[in-house]
Copies of this chain bind each other. A is one copy, B any other.
Amino acid sequence: MKRKVTLKQIAKELDVSISTVSKALRNSKEISEDTRQKVQAFAKLYNYRPNNIALSLKNRKTKTIGIIIPEIVHHFFSKVIRGIELVANKRGYNVIVGLSNESFSKEVINMEMLANGSIDGFILSISKETLQQQDYHHFTETINQGMPIVMFDRVVNEVNCDKVIVDDLKGSKKAVNRLVEKGCETIAIITTKDYVSVGRLRTQGYIEALEENNIKLKGSLILKVDDALVSDDDLEFLEKDIVTLIESNKNIDGIFAVNELYAITAMKVARKLGLRIPDDIQVIGFTDGVLSKHATPSLTTVSQHAQEMGEKSAELLINNLEIEEDEDHYQTVVIETELIERNSTK
């Protein structure tokens, strides 16, 4: 087992000083052609690579980005990570990920773990618990210490930083409008409680779209799911709620769901109730997932371009890191949504 070789060892072996070795390897013209060649040959032979940690300490930057997300087993988030990793790697950065698991304390702990020198900046999406508690001190403190943050998707006005969001309002208006175009007259929405900003915005888009189409809003058509009760493994409550929704509004002919799982579940429930899709009820979801693509019928959906969000977030952060003259002039980038039509609409 040959351990990693250091400058010191090379220096000792070649009987020169450490600084000579360092300079020789970096092609400094202070060093004679002779010794340079000798050092480089030796370094190559022993496969010398500078120690990243030492470099980080010296340069006071790690070339590493910290990602904090609520959940990784999730298509949207993993696609965002892919996007981040793509441009990060291209620009010489690594990514280190922490999962908050939708918990406030885990979010705080994870950030503290990374904020002490391990990374140069954060890209994150806020956990639900944090959104509920509205406690954002860990974000502001981090920023105050000079560590930049880029928030994506789940953002919050109280924190002043770069943000990358989806145009949730416009996206859901697009979806509802399409349902109207396709002939729907009684359109329900399955959404989340309002503290999740994206849920609130999508609901608002639904409402505005109805108004613009002169369709009267009806409270019983709005199903706000308590997602504390709904996990990937336990859809019972969700299904019951949807059954109630459909049965108490027999004339529903369109459903807009703020995420993939709700949409798929709605289709499943509808079918169980003897309704055909898209003939009796048309359904549109909101998200990027695989479920939509491979469901039967495949689901018409509002794509969020998750990977692009990741890419953009990484670009924002790295630009911020590498260009000094920013003077906390933060921007919010809006990623346009795209309506992908499949077979759950006519």
Contact = CB atoms under 8 A, between A and B. Distances in A.
Interface of A: 1-4, 47, 49-54, 56-57, 62, 64, 72-75, 78-79, 81-82, 85, 89, 94-99, 110, 112-118, 141, 144-146, 232, 261, 264-265, 268, 271, 289-291, 293-296
B51 A117 contact: yes
B294 A261 contact: yes
24 contacts: A2-B144, A3-B145, A50-B116, A51-B57, A52-B116, A52-B118, A53-B118, A54-B57, A64-B96, A72-B81, A72-B82, A73-B75, A73-B78, A73-B82, A81-B97, A94-B98, A96-B96, A232-B293, A265-B294, A268-B294, A271-B296, A289-B290, A291-B291, A294-B295
Contact of A95 (B73, B97, B117, B144): B97
A112 B294 CA distance: 37
A20 to B, nearest CB: 21
Nearest to A56: B53
Contact of A99 (B82, B116, B232, B265): B82
A294 B113 CA distance: 37
Contacts of A144: 1-2
Contacts of A2: 144-145
A344 B56 CA distance: 54
A231 to B, nearest CB: 12
A267 to B, nearest CB: 8
B146 A1 contact: yes
Nearest to A86: B99
Contact of A49 (B49, B50, B116): B116
A231 B78 CA distance: 17
A295 to B, nearest CB: 7
B72 A85 contact: yes
A115 B99 CA distance: 23
A294 B264 contact: yes
Nearest to A51: B117
3 residue pairs, one from A and one from B, having the closest CB atoms:
A51-B117, A96-B96, A53-B117
Most B CB within 10 A of own CB, among A110, A141, A295: A295
Interface core residue of A1, A53, A78, A79 (most chain B CB under 10 Å): A53
A72 B64 contact: no
A245 to B, nearest CB: 19
A85 B57 contact: no
Contacts of A1: 144-146
A145 B72 CA distance: 32
